[in-house]
Structure 1
Amino acid sequence: MTAAPVTLCFMLRDVDGLEHVLLGLKKTGFGLGKVVGIGGHVEPGESPVEAICREVAEETSIVVDPADLQHVGSVDFVFPARPGWDMFSTVFLCRKFMGEGVESLEISPRWYPVDQLPLDKMWADSSRWLPAFLSGRRGAWRVELNSDNETVASCTHTPLPAEAGPRE
């Protein structure tokens, strides 16, 4: 089975000299009850850039211009106990966008100071890669979960060169 292609976008903004990131409380489906990044599945015929622009709009009503996306890497999520959950996530940062973030059927968005991430309410692996991406560190992470599909069995990081773009 091949990992499902998905996208994540972390929108960043300055509030009184402190950087904030938009995350969302997942209200339905996979990750229900967890605070997650904004994003979702790449549909057939879509590029990761097209998918993340669509997902951000659907989940938050925020409009992102593809030219304003910064590709920072990927996270390959491996669920040995549930291979159907495996995902290959293309990750973007975005500092220029239109809108504030409106609650949708799927996500309740909220801005968090980057230095106060709600890691206790997120997937256990988030602490391994999210702070690195938010600090501008580029890379490809591979996260393998334990059989409980929650805790992390292993996490590896490979730095990416500055010119590496998203995997099609």
Structure 2
Amino acid sequence: MYFDPEKPRVVYAGVQITRDNSVLLGMKLRGFGTGLWQHTFAGKVEKNESLEGAAIRELEEETGLVVGLQDIVPAGYIEYEFSDPGLVPHIMQIHIFRALRWVGEPRCTSEIRPEWFNIQDMPFSHMWRDNAEWLVQCLRGERVQGYFLYSDLQTISTQQIQFSSASSCQQFQSSSLTM
């Protein structure tokens, strides 16, 4: 159950970049989440933009990496809600894609500093708390669907997580998450 089902929803989309046993994380340099490593290069979906189009655009804006529509696959769907509307006044609906291929080398931007990490050495103490609950499984190919209610910037008061195999044909959507 949502903490406040009347809150507006804002849709975000982004791309995860992995190679071998490593993941490209982004240190947030400004904006919401400054000082934390981000698992996905993501941003708001703009009016008349597809989820995939937004994810591809955000990846290029934040890292300089280029992917095509045929180069991304769905990896997960996460909803974030904060009980204090002063922190975030809406429910964040994050659609996560994984890149199969990309062109270019990651570069630092004014918003993000990308850096490769071994999946075994994830900097969870410098990431959003929920990442420790699902990220490694997602990076290893499981699809994730979740809901996290934060009571402040550090504390998760409610969570729900579901995993499925990457071969599952179920498309995660907000309407399929039971609360």
Using the size of structure 2 for normalisation, the TM-score is: 0.84
Which of 77, 92, 102 is the matching residue for 1:97? 102
2:116 is matched with which residue? 111
2:76 is matched with which residue? 73
Give the letter for the 1:157 counterpart.
I
The Cα offsets for residues 11-60 of structure 1, whole Å up to 9 and x where unpaired, read as: 1112xxxx111111101101011111211111111111000000000000
Kindly indicate whether residue 155 of structure 2 is the aligned counterpart of residue 151 of structure 1: yes
Which of 18, 22, 25 is the matching residue for 1:23? 25
Which one is further off, 150-159 or 24-33? 150-159
- RMSD (Å) for aligned C-alpha atoms: 1.7
2:89 aligned counterpart, secondary structure: helix
Distance in 2 separating the partners of 1:103 and 1:42: 22
Kindly indicate whether residue 129 of structure 2 is the aligned counterpart of residue 124 of structure 1: yes
> Any gaps of 5 or more consecutive residues in structure 2?
1-6, 175-179
Distance in 1 separating the partners of 2:164 and 2:121: 26
**Alpha-carbon deviation of 1:166?**
5.8
Aligned 8 A contact 1:81 1:149 in 2: no
Aligned 8 A contact 2:36 2:128 in 1: yes
Fraction of identical pairs, as percent: 28
Matches within 5 A, 1:24-103: 24-36=26-38, 37-82=40-85, 83-103=88-108
The Cα offsets for residues 130-161 of structure 1, whole Å up to 9 and x where unpaired, read as: 11211111131111111x23211122123457
Which one is further off, 151-160 or 125-134? 151-160
Aligned 8 A contact 2:145 2:172 in 1: no
Using the size of structure 1 for normalisation, the TM-score is: 0.90
Which of 92, 117, 137 is the matching residue for 2:142? 137
1:141 aligned counterpart, secondary structure: strand
**Alpha-carbon deviation of 1:165?**
3.2
Q: How many residue pairs are counted as aligned between the two chains? A: 163
**Alpha-carbon deviation of 1:8?**
2.8
Write out the 4+ residue segments of structure 1 that deviate beyond 2 Å after TM superposition: 158-161, 164-168
2:4 is matched with which residue? none
Aligned 8 A contact 1:128 1:155 in 2: no
**Alpha-carbon deviation of 1:88?**
0.5
Distance in 1 separating the partners of 2:48 and 2:36: 29
